[in-house]
Amino acid sequence: MGRAELKRAETTEGWACYVCDPTPLMEPRALHRLILSNLKSSEEEDANLSR
Whole-angstrom Cα distance, residue 25 to residue 44? 29
Whole-number pLDDT of residue 9:
87
Whole-number pLDDT of residue 29:
95
The DSSP result for 3-48, as a single string, is: HHHHHHHHH-TT---TTT--HHHHHHHHHHHHHHHHHHHHHHHHHH
Within-domain flag for 11? no
Within-domain flag for 38? yes
Whole-number pLDDT of residue 24:
86
Number of structural domains, the chain? 1
**Amino acid (one-letter) located at 38:** N
Within-domain flag for 6? no
Within-domain flag for 47? yes
pLDDT digits (tens, 9 = 90+) for 2-51: 898 889 889 999 888 889 999 989 999 999 999 999 999 998 888 888 76
Which residue range forms the structural domain that includes residue 40? 17-51
Within-domain flag for 7? no
